[in-house]
Amino acid sequence: MALRRCWAFAGVVPRLLWNRPVLPGTSVHGGRSLVCSIVNSQSGCRNRDFSSAPQSSEVTYEQLKQLLAGRRAVVIDVREPWELREYGFIPGSVNVPLGQVNTALQLGPEEFKEKYGGEKPLPTDNIVFSCLAGIRSKAALNTAGSLGYKDVQHYPGGWKDWEKNEQHR
């Protein structure tokens, strides 16, 4: 419903901005402060970027190690199962191939656990997506964000970076 209200004002916002002065310190590039304040005041939309991903959506190897050690994130590897068998995987990660992420995140908790062997993350959980080199994990991040998952990130170095760093330890 709120999304419908947001889209209803999508045609109004450009017209409102057309004759509106840009004040110093006002962000127009990201579209966040000026546009969202107009849309929010008229439609009740939540204040967020037009992207479904949070602004700091990438984690480094060290950050991922800390998240895993503190059990503060669910790591989802979006590679195909044969890739995990052939190359390896991050310990504690759950394998959900990229083509199944959309469907998997909409399953019930029991069904998710039965199919993927791990706990289904809640929309409020911190999720870190990983793949081989960061391309598919970025796509998965966007998919999760579009489904309402709030705290999603990806590991752009992927398995290649993980393996390289683990060998140096």
Instruction: Please list the active-site residues.
Output: 131
CA distance 118 to 124: 17
CA distance 52 to 48: 8
CA distance 19 to 165: 53
Name the DSSP class of 22: -
Q: Is the dihedral of CA 147, 152, 156, 159 positive or negative?
A: negative
CA 165 → CA 32, 80, 109, 130, 151, distances in Å? 37, 22, 33, 15, 25
What order of strands is seen across the sheet that includes strand 74-77? 94-95, 74-77, 126-130, 151-154
CA distance 6 to 40: 8
